[in-house]
Homo-oligomer: A and B are copies of this chain.
Amino acid sequence: MIELPESINNCVAFFKKLPGVGEKTAIRQVLFLAGLDMRDLAAFGDALRALAEIKKCQVCGMLSDNDLCKICSDHGRFASKTICVVENINDCIAIEKSGNYHGKFHVLGGVLNPLLGQGPDEINLDRLKERIVAEQVEEIILAINPTVEGDATCSYIKQFLPESIEIDRIGFGMPIGGSLEYLDAMTITKALENRKKI
């Protein structure tokens, strides 16, 4: 096995920890970086250090520079009576990118998962209960992934919410651009169940 310089190996070890990065990719990325000049590397290093300063929005749990995230500090959006509940920050970003949701969010930071010791107290549910009262929420959209744990989390949330609130879960079916031929049986079943008159 090749012995690379210590500073390269050290950096490769960090890159390998990133999601989706294996040894080969890590080496390729570090060799690219090794070709940059000192100023760029220092700036990249500083950008990483600055991530330690990031906060979580005290209302919704989204990442933020301040105590309130950009969505919760937008008066127009904060006045909305709809909260979209998501599992994590990445899911929130995905929905924001779709550009067609204008309400606010609530980031759970996980789903109920007894095997991982994640019960109702470990995910951001108490705060959701408080928000429903404080913000006079009228509608909850559960944008939680269709897994066993996700389903259980949706049932749990539905069970503690007052009946006056409308609770929806995002629609399941065939993805746009998909091909029936390659869809799994479960998705096809859901797509048939969720058919809509045209």
A interface residues (Cβ-Cβ under 8 A, vs B): 1-8, 10-11, 13-14, 18-21, 25, 27-34, 36-38, 41-54, 63-65, 69-70, 89-90, 92-93, 96-97, 99
Cβ-defined contact, A20 with B11, below 8 A: no
CA distance A3 to B70 in the complex (A): 7
- Interfacial chain B residues near A4, Cβ < 8 Å: 63, 93
Given contacts A5-B54, A5-B63, A7-B50, 9 further A-B contacts (CB under 8 A): A1-B96, A1-B97, A7-B65, A8-B63, A11-B48, A18-B32, A21-B29, A31-B63, A45-B45
Task: Give me the 7 closest cross-chain CB pairs, A-B, nearest first.
Answer: A2-B96, A45-B45, A38-B52, A45-B48, A5-B65, A7-B50, A11-B47
How many subunits of this chain does the assembly comprise?
2
| Chain A residues touching B, majority SS | helix
A48 / chain B contacts, CB cutoff of 8 Å = 11, 33, 41, 44-45, 48
B34 touches A54 (CB 8 A): yes
Residue of B nearest to A99 (CB): B1
- Kindly list chain B residues whose C-beta atoms are within 8 Å of the C-beta of A89: 31
Interchain CB contact under 8 A, B14 and A18: no
Min Cβ gap A60→B in Å is 13
Task: List B contacts of A28 (CB < 8 A).
Answer: 19-20, 90
